[in-house]
Structure formats: C-alpha cells, structure tokens
C-alpha cells in the first residue's frame, strides 16, 4: 500500500487473522522495490491504480509491474468501472473492522475530471482517530487496455465483479 495508516490496519488485521503476509509501503507509480523478473504475480487491488492526476504516472503502474514480472507472470488489476457515474455522485458507508475499529467513508465522483475523492475516517478501539483522503482518476476499460498493452502487458480476461461474472460497462 502507499498509505501508512492503511498499511497499519492491514498489518493489524493480518495479525488478528494470523495471516502470513508481507506488507510493503510503496507507490506503484514509482519503481517497485523488487528486482526485475522477480515476481510470479503483481496485484493492484482496491483502487491502487489511478492515484495520480497525470496519465503518464498512472500508466507507469503497468510499466513497473511488467518490469518485475517473470516471463509468463500474471498482473491482476482490481478497478472501479466509473462508466455508470455520468453525474456528480456521493455515497456514505460505515463498517466495523475485525480489530473493532470503525471505518467511515464518504465517496464523491466528479464527472468533469473523471475523478473521485474518498474521505476515510478510522476510529480505533483505543479512541485514536485518523482521517485521510483517497484520490482516484478513473479510466474507461479501453483506456486501461491501451495503457497495459503499451507497457507490454496483455489482457486475458475482464470480469464484471468478484464473482467472475461477465463485464458489463453499464452495470459492473
């Protein structure tokens, strides 16, 4: 992850669930902290793509991922389809985390810049509170495929949701 606070929560949750996961603080728009041809897979999950307002920096996620992948390695991108958002959009949600913390999110989509900002408030059990903002520039599926192919990556399949259903630009 690129956000220290989010990484801390991930580490706490991994400890609670006794998961053996190596968490790395890194910005995927910069060279990844791994040697070339060293990874069997690279995952860009939870809107970790589109974090910059500059298209070139966002496209660098694909270039740097391709660089660290071994031949026949797999790149997985989890990305929000913003096609259904054609107007200013706002959403609010709360959820209780495994460690007892409360996470509140306010999401706003701005169609004129094809971007969104999510304000995240994390209230920990011990009374501490963290607030951070998550900016994402949104791209169409054709724009993403074009950036991936230019970086040397190919597309095997595009899914519409976590159930593996067919991608529908209006509903997925």
The pLDDT tens digits of the residues spanning 43-76 come to 887 767 888 888 999 999 999 999 999 999 999 9
pTM: 0.73
**Phi, psi angles (nearest 5°) of residue 168:** -125, 115
HSE at residue 78, side-chain half, CA atoms within 13 A, is 11
The predicted-structure confidence for 117-164, as pLDDT tens digits, reads as follows 888 888 988 888 989 888 889 898 899 999 999 999 999 999 988 898
């Amino acid at each position: 992850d690129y956000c220290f606070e989010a990484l801390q929560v991930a580490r706490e949750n991994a400890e609670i669930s006794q998961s053996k996961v190596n968490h790395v603080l890194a910005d995927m728009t910069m060279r990844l902290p791994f040697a070339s041809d060293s990874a069997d897979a690279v995952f860009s999950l939870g809107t970790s793509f589109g974090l910059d307002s500059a298209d070139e920096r966002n496209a660098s996620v694909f270039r740097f991922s391709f660089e660290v992948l071994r031949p026949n390695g797999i790149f997985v991108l989890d990305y929000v389809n913003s096609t259904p958002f054609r107007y200013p959009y706002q959403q609010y949600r709360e959820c209780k985390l495994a460690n007892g913390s409360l996470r509140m999110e306010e999401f706003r989509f701005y169609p004129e810049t094809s971007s969104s900002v999510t304000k995240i408030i994390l209230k920990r059990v011990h009374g501490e509170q963290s607030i951070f903002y998550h900016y994402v520039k949104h791209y169409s599926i054709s724009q993403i495929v074009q950036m991936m192919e230019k970086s040397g990556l190919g597309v095997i399949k595009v899914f519409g949701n976590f159930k593996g259903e067919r991608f529908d630009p209006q509903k997925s």
